[in-house]
């Protein structure tokens, strides 16, 4: 029997909110709204310092981090290791987000972080995405390279732990002069990503969930989930509003009937 891939709605809170109190309220409010959710996996990735408190609020809300440094302990001022995050009860870790790449993170850095995260027991959410698109369609090569380098040396045995999130930078809510991506844009790239993953991992690639992220809100989530060719969504801005984020989760659940 074919394995059913569970859809996932994942919040990327970025460097928000300002206080632990607000963070706890947000998770508590989401938790109250999702008591009937059974088929959809829900993850929230807050800033590091909220992880420990938030993970205890609801069994239905899985906690993820937004970065991880390779290794366990050592002389790396300011860093938080994959092993520390795992031991704290963190499951997911967003890696290679465009906002970290903008600070200088390379595909090789992301590759090291993915390897360390898997070795520590974390489930990486690898973000890929192009800054711009043009007529030459060169962005396909960029995504191919991101996948190739970031997943280099990862074995087929780890595919069930990996998620790939397609996040076109031009569609992210905070990008100046941003424009909307469509479900067609998402589907086209999801097919391309799955083809590349299949070329690398063979049929084990079907275990890798592919997500879309970039200004998804409670109004557009249904279209991306229904027509975007993806197994879930990575949500930034809209995930900081408990009502909007819960509506996105409920939309996913309703489509999963
Ligand atoms: C993100 O940057 O990961 C993201 C999904 O942001 P937004 O939804 O705010 O565009």
For residue 12, the SS3 value is strand
DSSP string spanning 93-150? Answer: EEES-HHHHTTT--HHHHHHHHHHHHHHT-EEEEEE--S---TT-THHHHHHHHHHHH
* Tokens matching residue 245: 């984020």
Residue 66 in contact with residue 101, Cβ under 8 Å? no
Name 208's Cβ contacts closer than 8 Å, sequence gap at least 6.
159, 160, 162, 163, 164, 197, 201
Q: Whose CA is nearest to atom 3 of ligand 1?
A: 236
Residue 57 in contact with residue 27, Cβ under 8 Å? yes
CA atoms within 13 A on the CB side of 234: 36
Atom of ligand 1 nearest to the CA of 234: 5
> Which residues contact ligand 1 via a Cβ below 6 A?
12, 167, 172-173, 213-216, 234-237
Q: Whose CA is nearest to atom 6 of ligand 1?
A: 236
For residue 182, the SS3 value is coil
pLDDT of residue 2: 60
Give the separation between CA 59 and CA 57, rounded to whole angstroms. Answer: 7
Give the separation between CA 250 and CA 40, rounded to whole angstroms. Answer: 9
Atom of ligand 1 nearest to the CA of 97: 3
Nearest alpha-carbon partner for 186 in 215, 162, 211, 221: 211
- Pocket probe mutation, ligand 1, options 127, 164, 167, max atoms within 8 Å of Cβ: 167
pLDDT of residue 257: 72
Catalytic residue among 41, 83, 130, 167: 167
- Pocket probe mutation, ligand 1, options 11, 47, 235, max atoms within 8 Å of Cβ: 235
Phi, psi angles (nearest 5°) of residue 205? -65, -20
- Element at 228 (helix H, strand E): none
Residue 221 in contact with residue 248, Cβ under 8 Å? yes
Catalytic residue among 41, 83, 97, 218: 97
Residue 108 in contact with residue 101, Cβ under 8 Å? no
Architecture of domain 7-255: Alpha-Beta Barrel (3.20)
* Tokens matching residue 130: 């192009």
- Pocket probe mutation, ligand 1, options 47, 126, 163, 215, max atoms within 8 Å of Cβ: 215
Task: Name the pTM for this structure.
Answer: 0.97
Nearest alpha-carbon partner for 41 in 163, 150, 168: 163
Atom of ligand 1 nearest to the CA of 98: 2
Name 89's Cβ contacts closer than 8 Å, sequence gap at least 6.
51, 52, 55, 63
- Separation of CA 73 and ligand 1 centre (Å): 31
Atom of ligand 1 nearest to the CA of 175: 10
Residue 255 in contact with residue 37, Cβ under 8 Å? no
Residue 10 in contact with residue 234, Cβ under 8 Å? yes
pLDDT of residue 79: 97
Residues of the chain with pLDDT under 70: 1-3
Active site residue 137: no
- Separation of CA 59 and ligand 1 centre (Å): 24
């Amino acid at each position: 029997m074919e394995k059913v891939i569970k859809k996932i709605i994942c919040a990327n809170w970025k460097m928000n909110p300002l206080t632990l109190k607000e963070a706890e309220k947000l998770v508590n409010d989401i938790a109250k709204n999702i008591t009937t959710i059974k088929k959809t996996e829900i993850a929230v990735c807050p800033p590091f310092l909220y992880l420990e408190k938030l993970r205890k609020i609801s069994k239905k809300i899985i906690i993820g981090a937004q970065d991880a440094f390779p290794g366990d302990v050592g002389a790396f001022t300011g860093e938080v290791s994959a092993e520390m995050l795992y031991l704290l009860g963190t499951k997911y870790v967003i890696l290679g987000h465009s906002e970290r790449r903008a600070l200088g993170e390379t595909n090789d850095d992301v590759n090291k972080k993915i390897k360390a995260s898997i070795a520590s027991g974390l489930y990486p959410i690898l973000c890929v995405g192009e800054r711009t698109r043009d007529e030459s369609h060169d962005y396909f090569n960029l995504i191919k390279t991101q996948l190739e380098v970031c997943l280099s040396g990862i074995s087929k045995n780890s595919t069930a732990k990996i998620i790939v999130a397609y996040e076109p930078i031009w569609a992210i809510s905070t990008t100046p002069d941003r424009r909307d991506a469509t479900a067609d844009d998402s589907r086209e790239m999801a097919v391309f990503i799955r083809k590349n993953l299949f070329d690398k991992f063979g049929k084990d690639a079907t275990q890798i969930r592919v997500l879309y992220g970039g200004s998804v809100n409670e109004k557009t989530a249904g279209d991306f989930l229904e027509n975007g060719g993806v197994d879930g969504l990575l949500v930034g801005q809209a995930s900081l509003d408990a009502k909007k984020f819960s509506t996105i989760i409920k939309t996913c659940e309703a489509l999963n009937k």
